[in-house]
Amino acid sequence: MSRKALGNFIRLKRLARGFRQEDVCFADPVRLNIGHYCEIERGKVVPKLQTLLDIAQVLCFEIQAVADKYLRVQTDLSELETLGLMWLEKGYLENVHKIAYRLFSLSKKKGARSAKAYVATGIFLILCCRIKEKRKGNVKLLAREMLRVMDRADIFKWLDKMYKISRESMYFEVLVEIYKATDRPKKLPKNELFSLLYQYCSALYYSGRYSDAQAVARSAYEYRSHVDKSCLRYLLIRWGNILMQQREYDDAIKRYEECIESGDPQEKDMYYFGCVSNIARAYWKKKNGDLAREYWHKILETTEPCDEARIHVLTDLCFAEITEENYAAAREYLAQSEDLINKVDGQAETAYRFKDEVALHLRNKGILSIQDKKYQEALNYLLHSALSLHGGKLEDELVTVAIPLVGIEPICSNQLTDEQRIVIRELKKRLA
């Protein structure tokens, strides 16, 4: 009956558009055999997901309009998983949950091996929803059950997908719990195991669990001979960043230098610029301003460093001049970084990468606005900076925002909103 309902829905949509069956069959991107299309309309066969999407495009209806009908008749695991991931990407989490429960229901009608695959896929989709929803409810139990019933060969594939979703959502708590429940899968090839550990390390890093992240980074490093140099360099940069958060600056510098040495000495790529600017920042944290400036200027003197590296360096140099009360020089660096930020603003692929540097740029603008006695402007810049840095990879820089912000609070107290007061109160706790 459900197949007939699905077919009838498609038929009515076709008639409403005034199309003949041939019009749909021969239209791009459908291109179906007329007999097969007729069977779909009569409810004799269930169309593949891509076929249904193509028909929906030609007949101008959304797949959600026929979602319940399609779910009731589709039994193919890969088709349901694909649909679940598609809806996950679109944010239709309620529909994703429906697919998961459909998979659980279908598992009861399958043999033992197939049943496990259906259950594992259903749990996988629910865990992906948890990441999108940013909540950890029952994650440990779900992760253990998924790992119990799934094929170990699929671990890398699924964790890789969940890692990407976590990066998009900037929420890693669910993924960390899943990694915890995952025994190191011995059957995985060494290069995949390296990638798995790198992702786990990154998830811990973004969750602020730096000691654990460093331990996992060491484990991943053991498999460095099984991966290409670019993968190793990603790990070394991540490891260096972890050490920076732990204020282990000398060790961080070693990791960054190893990353530089593992690359082509003639090629100044993103790894090189990232490492050099981070080494400079490490020396600055060690209160070695001369060496820090030497590394910063290495980048600025390079013919064509990437915009990210330039922003990174100009922002740091600006703050260095502010610290030493060289405000004229600071304003010059601020103007240069402002131009570059405006250049890359709005580029979706760079939005995440530049988030922290923009936050530090706003901090610099705020401090310089205080020097100009533009306190309301300074307040806005510093608050934006604090909110952007909170929970990010440069959260340790919050103190450099908190000090000037708390300093101007009495001047701006009459203009503060309740939300702004809460932010400042939290920053005061951090300073205390």
pLDDT (tens place) for every residue of the chain, 432 residues total: 478 889 999 999 999 999 999 999 988 888 888 999 999 999 999 999 999 999 999 999 988 888 888 988 999 999 999 999 999 998 999 999 999 999 999 998 877 778 888 999 999 999 999 999 988 888 888 888 888 888 766 777 888 889 889 888 878 888 888 888 776 555 678 888 898 899 999 999 988 899 999 999 999 999 999 999 999 999 999 999 999 989 999 999 999 999 999 987 777 778 888 899 899 999 999 999 999 999 998 888 876 667 777 888 999 999 999 999 999 999 999 999 998 888 776 554 444 557 788 889 999 999 999 999 999 999 999 998 888 876 555 666 888 888 898 899 888 888 888 888 888 888 888 776
pLDDT at res. 392: 58
Q: What pLDDT is recorded for position 353?
A: 58
User: Quick one: which H or E segment has residue 270?
Assistant: helix 270-285
From the list 278, 285, 296, the residue with the least C-alpha distance to 400 is 285
Say how many C-beta atoms besides its own lie within 10 A of residue 237's C-beta.
Answer: 18
Q: How many residues does the chain have?
A: 432
Identify the CA nearest to 269 among candidates 228, 308, 316, 232.
308
Res 393: pLDDT: 59
Residue 348 is predicted with a pLDDT of 42
Give domain limits for the chain. 1-74
Helix axes 34-41, 2-17, angle to 10 degrees: 110
Retrieve residue 327's tokens.
């405000």
pLDDT of residue 15: 93
Per-residue model confidence (pLDDT) at position 270:
80
Tokens matching residue 294: 């030497």
110 φ/ψ sector (left φ>0, alpha ψ -120 to 50, else beta): beta
Read off the amino acid at residue 57: Q
DSSP string covering 76-132: -HHHHHHHHHHHHHHT-HHHHHHHHHHHHHHHTTS-HHHHHHHHHHHHHHHHHHHHH
Alpha helix positions (H), 134-228: 139-149, 155-169, 173-181, 190-206, 210-221
Beta carbons of 338 and 361 less than 8 angstroms apart: yes
Q: Of 272, 264, 274, 334, nearest to 308 (Cα)?
A: 274
Peptide bond into 47 cis (omega under 30): no
Give the span between the Cα atoms of 175 and 158, in whole angstroms: 11
In the prediction, which pLDDT does 346 show?
56
Residue 283, number of CB atoms within 10 A of its CB? 20
pLDDT value at position 58? 92
Position 349 scores a pLDDT of 44
pLDDT at 397: 80
- Cβ atoms of residues 90 and 129 within 8 Å: no
In SS3 terms, 13-27 reads as: HHHHHCCCHHHHHCC
Of the options 3.40.50.920, 3.40.50.1370, 1.10.10.10, 1.10.260.40, the CATH number for the domain spanning 1-74: 1.10.260.40
